[in-house]
Amino acid sequence: MRRNSVLAMVALCAAGALHAETMDRMVLSRGGVVLEVSAPASGIMRIRMGRGTLPEDASWAVPAAARRTRLPLNVTRGSDVLQLSAAHIGARIDMRTLRVDVLDGVGKLLLADLAGRSALSGEGGFRMRGRMSGDDHVFGLGDKTGTFDRKGGAYTMWNSDTYKFTQATDPLYKTIPFFMTVSDRGQAYGLFLDNTWRTTFDFGKTERGMLSISGEGGPVDYYVMAGPAPKDVLQQYARLTGTPPLMPQWALGFQQSKWSYKTDAEVRAIAQRLRSERMPSDVVYMDIDYQDRSRPFTVNGATFPDMRKLATDLRGQGIRLVLITDPHVANAPGQGYAAYDGGAARDLFLKLPGGQYYSGDVWPGAAVFPDFSRVQARRWWGDLYAGFVGDGVAGFWNDMNEPSIFNVPSKTMPLDVVHRIESDDFAPRSTSHAEMHNVYGQLNSRATYEGLARLQPDVRPFVLTRATYAGGQRYAATWTGDNVSSWQHLKTGMQQLVNLGLSGFSWVGNDVGGYAGEPPSPELLTRWFQLGAFMPLFRAHAETGRPDQEPWVGDAVQVEIRRRFISERYRLLPYLYATAEENSRSGIPLLRPVFLNFPSVLANGDRLGGSEDQFMVGGDLLLAPSPTLESPGDYNVELPGKDWYDYWTGRRLDGKSQTVKPDIAQLPVYVRPGAIIPKQPLVQSTAFVPEGRLELHVYPGADCHGDLYADDGISMAYQRGSFLRQHIRCEESQSGLKILFEQREGSWRPWWSGVELYIHGWESDAPPEVHAFGAAVAASVDRAQKAALIQVPDMVNGSVEISRSR
Ligand code: GLC
């Protein structure tokens, strides 16, 4: 039936007939070029184009279920123009040129003329051009360096090992060909080009005002997402490429890494020191030197005689081990090296066109590379983790998976290396590295993730990857690679992480303290810990051969500041974890530009309404480090509205604008009026159960609400109902405040014995009169903080009424 209507449509176009009808996709053909337009979901239009035939309908980023859904299209035909509309999206096609304008749900132009048959070159490449609107800002494309707003820049997608990258380095480690534009009015649309080949995105750099997207090969297959708000675009993108899983709660803990802690004794000493210094922490990483001659899936038995005992003993201290396992398998035939022997026996390594293995130099010396484009190779790779998982290793780190190759100018494998695609709904075929390069890291992390999920179906996998492709957020957290210990990197790192969040990747961090270069000054290290404490992934890491960089390095004053911020992170875990859980359902990132929560700020100023230097953690906390981090000069913070609160003092602020005098001991953090933020008593690890009461910090204001989410933090039982979710609201009235605890969902029983309410902005010296569940409850006032403090029982549902005493 579908086939017939498509054929009919092609024929109708040729005859120039006229009428309106409904179909599930429009296919047109002109001058040997075939165009298909369909609407896979509300607010999303997909456009594919090819020479002679459409490109294959298969993807590493968009699972089949999301691609194969097609909403009905209403089609209206004019003489040379076809007008299509579906839920909240539309398109206008010029039938002579096959140019497509994408329209929003009310017919307003979003993106003009991007493709068209002239976009396809004879040699298999393409170049699409479209006009950008003058007030559009551009975000996304992952962790590209340079400015936060990508407008005026041009970027290449080619996964590259870029040690000590600079502001000018491009391409970097990842390929996420998705961006959104946001206008000064806060209106957004998104575009995702699902093409794994080397591509370039030019946002008006070469030609002012023109967007140009070009590639050397691969399909013209792109999706336009109509928003209209920036958050809508992210949700539409998540609908296509998926959301990150809910990571184990320990992934939110502080993670200490270094290349490398070289012996069993050294790893134990680091864990011990984290505890004796009272630096809350959850993870110690083991870099390449735990291995035998840097060979993945081996252990140097002389330096690490008993991995199981090490993992078990550390677990007793609330510390988990994460091990590096790079994709380069040492090219070591006949040496009893199991990873090589197993892969070779199953014929799973990449080959040159002549049929011999491709061998390239990396950490182990000559190495071969699994062909992760094959489901068999991914399965085999995933199974390699059985030993480490059995030893109690908690998570794994896939590095060098651009893939990085030493001693060759291209820094990667030759483009004619042959991959054999046997996966998903791809037709089995051989292809070149030119097609698979940018997706190699994503498939490596997928193999690891899926392997861990098979080995321990009831434990949430934790995988960290350096290279990836769009959709890779379903499998792994990521970090920004080999940064430098400099103020510039600390600042650039922030926009990289925010843009990663705007590219679907929420579990992101950078090497706290900086990885390479001159060691950080004590102040730089402190500032990095302060900001790191609010990053989704909080991992300190540094290169080999440098002086120690752990949080206790330096004078006691600096160390104490770092301890305070790491500890604050642990106190905030209930808030962070609830945000992470929301992210696993919505795709809205943990770390957000201000405009994501408050699109109207864009209209208020030329510096992106303050979004350039400030950012938000979840919906309620706004961080405002100095725009020049190293400078002692005062600076101004523009808040997105009035009546915000100071997070540290709890006090309500006057006015929207704040002047900050930088102080190394402080990082300005502000709270949205209307926030309800859960916090917990300090623990030294997420493995330890907090004791006492849950704190609920209520910051009265408009749209007052907050969320509680809790579960065991580690297993999949939350998917079977063992979780706690509760929405809390507050309502202000003349006489006081009412806090409404909505019906709690799920069967998980939380650790807290009761709740301590902090009502901020309590100007009166007299304690309030409080009724919880209808019974009177005692309250007190903290005059310095201007907060009323009230202890109530655990509120499964019901309300607390707080009235000013008369
Ligand atoms: C790469 C990684 C770095 C790691 C090193 C050794 O450079 O980016 O984090 O420490 O390899 O494994």
Q: Could you read off the pLDDT of 740-772 as tens digits, one per residue?
A: 999 999 999 999 999 999 999 999 999 999 999
Q: What share of the chain has pLDDT > 70, as a percent?
A: 96
Spatial distance between the Cα atoms of 251 and 714, rounded to a whole number of angstroms: 10
Spatial distance between the Cα atoms of 359 and 365, rounded to a whole number of angstroms: 9
**Residue 117: its pLDDT value, please?**
82
- Ligand 1 midpoint to CA 131 (Å): 41
Phi, psi of 789 (to 5 degrees): -115, 130
Atom of ligand 1 nearest to the CA of 163: 7
Peptide bond into 803 cis (omega under 30): no
Confirm whether 638 is a catalytic residue: no
Q: Of 696, 709, 790, 717, which is closest to residue 750 (Cα–Cα)? A: 709
**Residue 71: its pLDDT value, please?**
97
Q: For residue 20, is pLDDT > 80?
A: no
Which residue lies with its CA nearest to atom 10 of ligand 1?
Answer: 259
Residue 118 — very low, low, confident or very high, per pLDDT cuts 50/70/90? confident
Which of 202, 326, 399, 612 is flagged as catalytic? Answer: 399
- Ligand 1 midpoint to CA 399 (Å): 7
**Residue 606: its pLDDT value, please?**
54
pLDDT, average across residues 38-63: 97
Which residue lies with its CA nearest to atom 3 of ligand 1?
Answer: 482
DSSP 8-state class, residue 521: P
Spatial distance between the Cα atoms of 517 and 434, rounded to a whole number of angstroms: 32
Q: For residue 5, is pLDDT > 60?
A: no
Which residue lies with its CA nearest to atom 7 of ligand 1?
Answer: 482
With beta carbons less than 8 A apart as the criterion, state whether 508 and 252 touch.
no
Amino acid letter at 795?
Answer: M
Cβ of 482 closer than 6 Å to ligand 1, yes or no, is yes
How do residues 260-282 score in pLDDT, each as one tens digit?
A: 999 999 999 999 999 999 999 99
Cβ of 550 closer than 6 Å to ligand 1, yes or no, is no
Spatial distance between the Cα atoms of 67 and 70, rounded to a whole number of angstroms: 8
In terms of Cβ atoms closer than 10 Å to its own Cβ (0-12, 13-18, 19+), residue 584 is: middle
**Residue 101: its pLDDT value, please?**
95
How do residues 193-234 score in pLDDT, each as one tens digit?
A: 999 999 999 999 999 999 999 999 999 999 999 999 999 999
Q: For residue 1, is pLDDT > 50?
A: no
Atom of ligand 1 nearest to the CA of 324: 12
Which of 194, 232, 402, 543 is flagged as catalytic? Answer: 402
How do residues 676-688 score in pLDDT, each as one tens digit?
A: 999 999 999 999 9
Atom of ligand 1 nearest to the CA of 511: 9
**Residue 610: its pLDDT value, please?**
66
Cβ of 288 closer than 6 Å to ligand 1, yes or no, is yes
Q: Which of 431-435, 472-476, 500-504, 733-737 has the lowest mean pLDDT?
A: 733-737
Q: For residue 42, is pLDDT > 70?
A: yes
**Three-state secondary structure call for residue 274:** helix
**Three-state secondary structure call for residue 557:** helix
With tokens 């807290």, the residue in question is 752
Phi, psi of 133 (to 5 degrees): -80, 145
Question: The pTM is what?
Answer: 0.96
Atom of ligand 1 nearest to the CA of 482: 8
How do residues 425-474 score in pLDDT, each as one tens digit?
A: 999 999 999 999 999 999 999 999 999 999 999 999 999 999 999 999 99
Confirm whether 216 is a catalytic residue: no
Average pLDDT, the chain: 94
pLDDT, average across residues 650-656: 92
Q: For residue 19, is pLDDT > 60?
A: no
How do residues 508-529 score in pLDDT, each as one tens digit?
A: 999 999 999 999 999 999 999 9
Confirm whether 326 is a catalytic residue: no
Which among 159, 173, 261, 482 is the best mutation to test ligand 1's pocket, defined by most ligand atoms within 8 Å of the CB?
Answer: 482
**Residue 270: its pLDDT value, please?**
98
Cβ of 259 closer than 6 Å to ligand 1, yes or no, is yes
Distances (CA, A) of 76 to 3, 92, 93, 139: 20, 10, 11, 34
Residue ranges in 348-471 assigned as alpha helix (H): 375-383, 386-391, 433-436, 440-455
Which of 482, 568, 613, 695 is flagged as catalytic? Answer: 482
